[in-house]
Chain A
Amino acid sequence: MPQSSKRPVGRRGFLKGATAGAAAIVAQTSVAMAQQAGTTVAAAAASTAPPAIEVSSNSRPGSDFMVDVIKSLGIEYCAANPGSSFRGLHESIITYGGNVNPELLTCTHEESSAAMAHGYAKIEGKPMMIMAHGTVGLQHASMAIYNCYADRVPMIVVLGNILDINYRRGSAEWYHSVQDAAAMVRDYIKWDDTPISLGHFAESLVRGYNIAMTPPLEPVVIVADGELQEQPIKEKSPRIPKLVASAPPQGDSGAVAEAAKLLLSAENPVIVTARLARTPKGIDLLVELAELLQARVHDQRMRMNFPSAHPLYARPNYDPLAPNISDADVVLALEAQELWSLTHRMTPLNRFGMETQSTLKPGAKVISISAIELNHKSNYQDFGRYVEVDLKITGDAEATLPALIEQVKHQMTADRRRAIQERGAKTAAANRQLHEHIREAAAVAWDASPISTARLTAEVWAQVKNEDWSLVSNDRYPSYWPTRLWNFSKHYQYIGAQGAAGIGYGAPAAVGAALANRKHGRLTINIQPDGDLNYAPGVLWTAAHHQIPLLTIMHNNRAYHQERMYVQMMGNRLDRGIDRSDIGTALKDPNIDYAMMAKTYGMYGEGPITDPKDLAPAIRGGIERVKKGEPALIDVVTQPR
């Protein structure tokens, strides 16, 4: 970057210049005093006198052009905790851009910004943007970006950074500057770039958007250089390239035909999936395939993949009430998560040693269809253990299903169709029996206090079942009771979990998902673990400030309960008792008052509720507030799980 003592400045530069001028007046006074004392100090002061400045308030800064690029991509929201390294872009979004598309969302923590974008994208099917300092802001955001990456969700991360030392004003801007801003997260993003011109920025943001939206979907990072943001546009008509969406990668046609052959020859094929349904179409396709094969669908519950009331739904694979896949002779894994754990048993954590054993029956075949092989990284181990599958098809499963369905139809014979229908009838009968067993299990501890997660789930369902609802929290924490008892059928009714099991995702992702649901008029429900909320509870204020309607129902078990059980298992191994396992894992003494926390952040709060009879009226009250367009929180003191 050429150095100049005469730098044209825009509006912001003018303000900075005015501040510098005031400082110069003070400096001149100091210089006059110094001159009386001697010449050495005076000479030193003269050498640090500010350069002449040129005020050019009509110039458009580069950040205005950056906003043009962002608008061209249809990005609706940009979440940020304000930071000086992107102050130019911040100002352009809210003034030049009219604070619409994107609208700036005020966040109190960069982890909240990123997790909000994570939740938003899973409802809306497209990325949101966040801004952060290239150093301290990204350090805050990094865990949430890793969650997003592991969950195969797109996000546009724009980092502020001042690469040219001549533009760094004071020590804070040195602390906030970095040679290679994206390096910190490069292991868990899909792509990044550091543009050095506005044309370069436009091309990189458009390219990045396309990369983020091509399966496997993942976050990308673009660095918005501070000088590029804040200096007038120097380039002649930098252009914004047209965004052309890539068709998702499909599996090889020969391999797909082979998969159909294996599935049709099976006596008991089962389907396993974690993240098949990128879009609502994915659910329709999976229903069509499952019904053609009359195959059970085992759901790892990372997306809304399959209707929960369907007779072929085999429920979450970790649910001890659900069947397992050990009776399958062919397993079809569609964007499955950690397939090895699903097909093997390991020595449990509460015993020493490590032995592994396949849970599949001898001779069972495994087919995998997944796009994840298209973006393997080395350092972070989210890819899971290598699985010796019999047929591996690299390609997006949702994009590959139409071809697989066609092949199954093409290869189907009348004999096979008859046998398949008989299988389906047996599966449906077993599912009906299982549902009755689940209902009986839900009644146990019905009147208990703390309140059982089954009762909590049933009471919420009674109030929301006739609404257009969307559950945006991980239903594993309340022991899968929502999946066990509610009727999930639409894509937006469930969005899965964190991705990388990083805690602190729940509350901000729910706010982001509720933001996406707002324009569709949906009732968004978040069953919120207490430990998770305490990472960055300021997101409640963001929800209140931006009037994001969201019903948060605390699953307040007053502990980091999963971790408590891990500590317990360590104690079990050593045979020395587990009566101290709440040390370091309990959230009590004092208890946290979440209703008061909600009120402090400017939203409706009620609780703590300990008597299950008080649940229904409290939930109704919360829903009334949410229907008025505001967030509400009901604190429910619950059983551990």
Chain B
Amino acid sequence: MRRSLCAVLLLAAGAAAQTKGTANLTGNADNGKRLFLKNACYQCHGLAGQGGLAGARLAQTKLAQAAFVAYVRNPAPGGMPPYRAKVMSDQELADVWAFIKTLPEPPAVASVPIP
């Protein structure tokens, strides 16, 4: 699992490098939330970005906006499908990223009844 996570991050970093020059866009978190639902990101990643069997956790992502956009455009083979600008523009992805960054930190594990 850890190996695959590392691979995802490396790919993301690589993808970010390829899109060097793309300026950071100002994201609109409210619109991002709307797009997150409309474009069904939640179906794999969960309504709170918690991840699941089919999609990675997005809440508290360490990816910068450029790396996030690059990964969505060109994800690791075998998992998430690519989303082209035809489906979601860079601005819309920036909005989604802004929404993801608003997702709350989870409580400390010791503070909740998790066995």
Q: Which residues of A contact B (CB under 8 A)?
A: 318-323, 345, 348, 350-351, 434, 437, 439-448, 450, 452-454, 458-459, 461-462, 465, 476, 479-480, 485-487, 561, 564-565, 568-569, 572-573, 575-579, 581-582, 639-641
Contact = CB atoms under 8 A, between A and B. Distances in A.
Given A442-B114, A461-B115, A485-B114, A641 B84 contact: no
Given A461-B115, A479-B53, A641-B53, A444 B39 contact: no
Interface in B83-115: 83-84, 86-87, 104, 106-109, 112-115
Interface string B32-68: 0000001110111011111111100101100000000
B47 A487 contact: no
A321 B50 CA distance: 13
A640 B50 CA distance: 11
A445 B115 contact: no
Contacts of A444: 48-51, 57, 59-60, 106
A449 to B, nearest CB: 9
Contact of B115 (A319, A440, A453, A458): A458
B1 interface: yes
A565 B43 contact: yes
A565 B54 contact: yes
Contact of A439 (B46, B49, B109): B109
A341 B93 CA distance: 34
Interface of B: 1, 4, 38-40, 42-44, 46-54, 57, 59-60, 78-84, 86-87, 104, 106-109, 112-115
A440 B57 CA distance: 12
Given A320-B53, A445-B59, A569 B81 contact: yes
A443 B109 contact: yes
A550 to B, nearest CB: 23
A320 B78 CA distance: 13
Nearest to B113: A462
A321 B54 contact: no
Contact of A565 (B44, B46, B60): B44
A578 B84 CA distance: 12
A482 to B, nearest CB: 11
Given A350-B81, A442-B114, A569-B81, A448 B47 contact: yes
A459 B112 CA distance: 10
B52 A479 contact: yes
Contacts of B82: 572
Secondary structure class of chain B's binding surface, majority of residues: loop
B52 A641 contact: yes
Given A448-B48, A564-B40, 15 more contacts: A319-B53, A320-B53, A323-B1, A437-B1, A441-B50, A443-B114, A445-B59, A458-B112, A476-B53, A486-B115, A575-B84, A575-B86, A577-B87, A581-B40, A640-B43
Contact of B40 (A348, A447, A453, A568): A568
B74 to A, nearest CB: 13
Given A322-B1, A579-B40, A480 B114 contact: no
B43 A452 contact: no
Given A461-B115, A575-B84, A641 B107 contact: no
Secondary structure class of chain A's binding surface, majority of residues: loop
Contacts of A581: 40, 43
Given A318-B53, A565-B54, A439 B43 contact: no
A328 to B, nearest CB: 15
20 contacts: A319-B53, A321-B1, A322-B1, A348-B78, A443-B109, A443-B112, A444-B59, A445-B48, A445-B59, A448-B47, A458-B112, A458-B115, A462-B115, A465-B115, A479-B52, A572-B81, A572-B83, A575-B84, A577-B39, A640-B46
Contacts of B43: 561, 564-565, 568, 578, 581, 640
B46 A641 contact: yes
Contacts of A453: 52
A476 B109 CA distance: 23
Nearest to A434: B1
Contacts of A454: 50, 114
Contacts of A434: 1
Contact of A443 (B4, B38, B107): B107
Nearest to A581: B40
Given A579-B38, A579-B39, A639 B114 contact: no
B52 A640 contact: yes
Nearest to A565: B43
B47 A640 contact: yes
Contact of B50 (A348, A448, A576, A577): A448
Contact of A480 (B53, B86, B87): B53
B51 A441 contact: yes
B54 A487 contact: no
B107 to A, nearest CB: 5
B77 to A, nearest CB: 8
B57 A578 contact: no
Nearest to A448: B48
Nearest to B44: A565
A440 B1 CA distance: 15
Nearest to A484: B115
A439 B115 CA distance: 8
A319 B107 CA distance: 23
A260 to B, nearest CB: 31
A452 B45 CA distance: 12
A593 to B, nearest CB: 21
Contacts of A486: 115
Contact of B1 (A320, A561, A577): A320
Q: Which 7 A-B pairs have the closest CB atoms?
A: A445-B48, A572-B81, A350-B81, A445-B50, A443-B106, A448-B48, A444-B50
A461 B114 CA distance: 9
Given A348-B78, A462-B113, A578-B40, A452 B107 contact: no
A13 to B, nearest CB: 59
